[in-house]
């Protein structure tokens, strides 16, 4: 099995595919034990960003968020928007979700769009996703956020929600121009 993100254009055609690089193999004390590598084949490459009406989009998935190198590679290849569709567990989501999304946006000076699954994955409820879909701007500001598992329980939600935010490429270029990230590739390797 593969964990693949598909980009479907306005005509309903699949135009882009990305296969998740980093598999979620964790044993959280008092929490879930998940071994994605038992059933999922990891991807072998970072796909180049592609042009859309919103800007140049780069794809990553869920656990890829914990590794800055893929997002930096996408930024170096021209990405203006980086996506992270995810199903973060509740414990890892509470601990790191917003922090990691904001860090990836800041260090790449890109918009980060993260659709996040919320609630139970099975009837027993033994695996639950945190939710809190977010859109973060290139300065690291959360410009849109949806609820999470706690909201789902409290309100009895059983339908999806949609978050929207303006993607302002002039603002993105202003951030990149005013705070240029001049990397010291004479000291450490460039990420491509």
Domain boundaries, the chain: 50-178
Q: Is 180 exposed, middle or buried (0-12, 13-18, 19+ CB in 10 A)?
A: exposed
Model pLDDT, residue 72: 98
Model pLDDT, residue 127: 79
Confidence band, pLDDT 50/70/90 cuts, at residue 119: confident
Which of 66, 106, 101 lies closest to 83, judged by CA? 101
Contacts of 102 by beta carbon, 8 Å cutoff, 6+ apart: 112, 136, 140, 142
159 vs 164 pLDDT, higher one: 164
pLDDT, one tens digit per residue, over 14-46 is 999 999 999 999 887 876 688 999 999 999 999
Residue 172 main-chain phi, psi, to 5 deg: -55, -50
Residue 122 CA: distances (Å) to CA of 27, 136, 138: 19, 30, 36
Examine the pLDDT at 158 and tell me if it is beyond 80. no
Predicted TM-score of the model (pTM): 0.92
Average pLDDT over residues 124-152: 88
Residue 129 main-chain phi, psi, to 5 deg: -100, 150
Examine the pLDDT at 128 and tell me if it is beyond 90. no
Q: ∠ CA(5), CA(167), CA(157), 5° rounding? A: 60
Examine the pLDDT at 141 and tell me if it is beyond 60. yes
Please give the CATH superfamily to which domain 50-178 belongs. Answer: Carbon-nitrogen hydrolase (3.60.110.10)
Mean pLDDT is lowest, of 28-42, 84-98, 109-123, 133-147, for: 28-42
Q: Are 105 and 71 in contact (CB under 8 A)?
A: no
Residue 170 CA: distances (Å) to CA of 74, 84, 118, 138: 19, 23, 33, 11
Examine the pLDDT at 156 and tell me if it is beyond 60. no
């Amino acid at each position: 099995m593969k964990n693949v993100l598909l980009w479907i254009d306005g005509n309903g055609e699949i135009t882009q595919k990305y296969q998740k690089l980093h598999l979620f193999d964790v044993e959280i004390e008092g929490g879930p034990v998940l071994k994605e590598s038992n059933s999922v084949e990891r991807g072998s490459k970072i796909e180049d960003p592609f042009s859309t009406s919103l800007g140049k989009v780069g794809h990553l998935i869920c656990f890829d968020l914990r590794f800055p190198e893929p997002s930096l590679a996408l930024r170096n290849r021209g990405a203006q928007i980086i996506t992270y569709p995810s199903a973060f567990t509740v414990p890892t989501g509470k601990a790191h979700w917003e922090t990691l999304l904001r860090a990836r946006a800041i260090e790449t000076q890109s918009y980060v769009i993260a659709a996040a699954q919320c609630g139970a994955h099975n009837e027993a409820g033994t695996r639950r996703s945190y939710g809190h879909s977010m859109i973060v701007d290139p300065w690291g500001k959360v410009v849109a956020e949806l609820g999470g598992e706690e909201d789902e329980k409290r309100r009895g939600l059983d339908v999806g929600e949609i978050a929207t935010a303006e993607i302002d490429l002039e603002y993105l270029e202003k951030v990149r121009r005013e705070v240029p990230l001049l990397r010291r590739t004479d000291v450490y390797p460039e990420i491509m």
